[in-house]
Structure 1
């Protein structure tokens, strides 16, 4: 290939893995440098005491985006991993044996809504039709644009929905539904976008279609199946992976990125692409080469951090589903404690995930693996004493709500919180999901895929376009690879 270039990629999360595949497919020589000992970034896997845990993402939504990714290489997901549609998709707990089960199909969900609030079944069908329309516009088209110009958002379809960019999910849902529980269930999916429902444009109701319309899936032996799949694809395309490779400097000459310092060694490259934390990557540059100031980052709305617990139980757990949300406390107070007045929540909402219900390999026979998550404000104080206190809080509530004793059955436990997000992923303020998708942080208003100050330096991942989440990360990798190839095409004209 005449235009063959050497490309160095920082980090091996989903966006880096995707970009590596696309760039290698275009004929470039691609090397991925990962500071940790295994690939996957936040989607690493933890194996301990016979238990297996996905350390990060645990929801497989938008299967069509994964299908589209593999199709770009003439492959199918089934070539690499098997998907199981979860039934039920998840359960939301409000009190002792008081929960709403979300089925794996829209018709049953409509029936559930109708049984809780008369007339809401029909309203939900109308709401979902609009959400599907938004999904078709957003996920099949808009998110595959590189965030270079405001005009990317101006299409015949979006012109008809312009009002939805100036209203919010919260307002829309409240106009249509009165029951507080149903409102919370409809507001829940946008939490994946990293902002309060009251700060998220109505257009993002496409997340509700991702939830109720497309369903919740699980790769047969966990989300790490997807990491393994893309790593395997990348290697087959000629990508080289170097682990335990900490990048400490990006060198710039004549306003162009020329090399990386990796474990003290200088490695020259035609293009440098960072899938590592955007803010951290800019600190690897000398001050005058940084496109965004500290005050810029300080002024952004970041998605939450998380307190995570990976727990092994020596018995099977009753009265649970694979995914479970515990909304038995004030949903809005907890959101306030994350976004408005950052502090540890007095009464935290939490999420629990029991992969061993679906995947027997996740725990030894007769045992259960559990993953618990409490969303927290980024930048919060993180101590072992606080972690211990909050573990006791959520396990006590879990026992009460599911009517069983489990604490004395814990034989393995590991926590992961803000300090670990910083040390393991160089995450800004220890955020877990990147930068929130608020109106003023959408598309072209997000940090750019291409450095505004340094030639041959590019970025990908959750702080740039399209935003937080695994499917957007795969798309981000595709978008940046297209920009890089465009640069080489232009140079050869």
Structure 2
């Protein structure tokens, strides 16, 4: 069998797969359509400011360590991690915010101060969450999603009821405070669906939050990309940027025979795509696509986002490195993303100020601000709408944090639905992939291996195991194992 493989895209899942395949003896070439590596995890630099364009949360440090350990390395061989304290801050209204400590005992006390008796329920909830984390992250998510039997273990059978209840029901069973409910429901937003549609089993995200904490790689998330690229290059992976794949070529027997890249044909019989799954299938002849447009249109996708990267000429007060603004109606915003897609009436939003922790991301006395509004994928995206929401959230930000910031803006760059489509060929401009709902879990997600094209494989946030950076690293590992097994 061929030991040459081309990987489309250079996001986290592709970088992960490139390392595993190279270690196994494959000659790996990674094709990236943009001029920098990292897929959605890129950087924007301007006037001494540095922003992570994509992922900004470093959770589940054990998954990153497991990846590097597989190559006899540690994350610290490539970048330095700082544990954030507070992990993040949540605003519920003017002069009403809470900081989530990096210490569990302080979190228990925070809950108890807000609602008497709630710390007891939180401890029980987190015990369940840790048990689920150990089951999911150390075992289940490393399975390829080929068969429903992969989910049937003694541990999952004991938890079967959790797959038919939801995070929302589980949280509300014993906790009454709306503030605490929002804090507990927040982590599952990384999975791309409403808490009311997310199986209770996924409470392991709460353990990732409170139990393992929030970290920051010095220099930003892009240093993780650099570390993975460095590891891949040490394994002789070849990277080519500005390499846009126009077509995946197949023969009469539906086997891959090559790629058309920037208009030129390249011979190959083995391809792994870490690019958007839907987009990848548009590169194939119609008769060998696995999934129809109707299939994709019926799936629940994680939100898109309106992002602003803002350079401020002063330090910003009353905020933390990660700050969430939950001062408006959570349910209404969720409905306007998932149920009745439209621009949100009064959106929740998130702000990130890495320069509070990492002095390299802004000049002295200045602040780098990253603002994010979750949006329904596929909605209208115009400069006028971006401008409207820029003022909408900064006006709220000023009132909530008791300071003027708009007149201190040096520059602002936006990124939204159109950009996700243009830069990443993202289906409907989604930002995070396909949501992890009950009917979109494991074997119910798009397959890692094409059922129509011989030697075509997929990895990333639209396939197994799901959205997020840690799952992307895992996706790269399990698809590599599948390729190696099938090529023997």
Same fold (TM over 0.5): yes
Q: In the alignment, which residue of structure 2 is the partner of 1:111? A: 109
Give 1:270 shift: 2.7
Of the three residues 97, 100, 117, the one matched with 1:99 is 97
Q: Do the aligned partners of 2:163 and 2:199 also contact (CA within 8 Å) in 1? A: yes
Partner secondary structure for residue 40 of structure 2: helix
Structure 1 CA distance for aligned equivalents of residues 405 and 268 of structure 2? 53
Q: In the alignment, which residue of structure 2 is the partner of 1:292? A: 291
Structure 2 CA distance for aligned equivalents of residues 60 and 435 of structure 1? 20
Cα deviation code 1:143-201 (max 9, x no counterpart) = 00000000000000000000000000000100020001100110010000000000000
Q: In the alignment, which residue of structure 2 is the partner of 1:149? A: 147
Cα deviation code 1:339-393 (max 9, x no counterpart) = 0100001101000000001110100111000000000000010000000000000
Partner secondary structure for residue 468 of structure 1: coil
Q: In the alignment, which residue of structure 1 is the partner of 2:356? A: 357
Structure 2 CA distance for aligned equivalents of residues 176 and 239 of structure 1? 51
Once structures 1 and 2 are overlaid, which stretch shifts more, 264-273 or 139-148?
264-273
Give yes or no for the alignment of 1:275 onto 2:264. no
Q: In the alignment, which residue of structure 2 is the partner of 1:218? A: 216
Runs of at least 4 residues off by over 6 Å: none
Partner secondary structure for residue 315 of structure 1: coil
Partner secondary structure for residue 176 of structure 1: coil
Structure 2 CA distance for aligned equivalents of residues 196 and 122 of structure 1? 26
Q: In the alignment, which residue of structure 2 is the partner of 1:75? A: 73
Q: Do the aligned partners of 2:255 and 2:269 also contact (CA within 8 Å) in 1? A: no
Q: In the alignment, which residue of structure 1 is the partner of 2:453? A: 454
Output the aligned Cα RMSD. Answer: 0.6
Q: Do the aligned partners of 1:15 and 1:474 also contact (CA within 8 Å) in 2? A: yes
Give yes or no for the alignment of 1:257 onto 2:256. yes
Partner secondary structure for residue 44 of structure 2: strand
Q: In the alignment, which residue of structure 2 is the partner of 1:422? A: 421
| Unaligned ranges ≥5, structure 2 | none
Q: In the alignment, which residue of structure 1 is the partner of 2:308? A: 309
Q: In the alignment, which residue of structure 1 is the partner of 2:433? A: 434
Give yes or no for the alignment of 1:201 onto 2:207. no
| Unaligned ranges ≥5, structure 1 | none
Once structures 1 and 2 are overlaid, which stretch shifts more, 265-274 or 148-157?
265-274
TM-score with structure 1 length normalisation?
A: 0.98
Q: In the alignment, which residue of structure 2 is the partner of 1:21? A: 19
Of the three residues 152, 158, 161, the one matched with 2:159 is 161
TM-score with structure 2 length normalisation?
A: 0.99
Give yes or no for the alignment of 1:64 onto 2:87. no
Structure 2 CA distance for aligned equivalents of residues 246 and 99 of structure 1? 46
Q: Do the aligned partners of 2:379 and 2:417 also contact (CA within 8 Å) in 1? A: yes
Structure 2 CA distance for aligned equivalents of residues 469 and 396 of structure 1? 30
Q: Do the aligned partners of 1:5 and 1:28 also contact (CA within 8 Å) in 2? A: yes
Partner secondary structure for residue 173 of structure 2: helix
Alignment of 1:116-135 (within 5 A): 116-135=114-133
Give 1:4 shift: 5.8
Once structures 1 and 2 are overlaid, which stretch shifts more, 456-465 or 100-109?
100-109
Q: Do the aligned partners of 2:308 and 2:412 also contact (CA within 8 Å) in 1? A: yes
Once structures 1 and 2 are overlaid, which stretch shifts more, 254-263 or 82-91?
254-263
Q: In the alignment, which residue of structure 2 is the partner of 1:412? A: 411
Structure 1 CA distance for aligned equivalents of residues 235 and 117 of structure 2? 54
Q: Do the aligned partners of 1:5 and 1:270 also contact (CA within 8 Å) in 2? A: no
Give 1:100 shift: 1.1
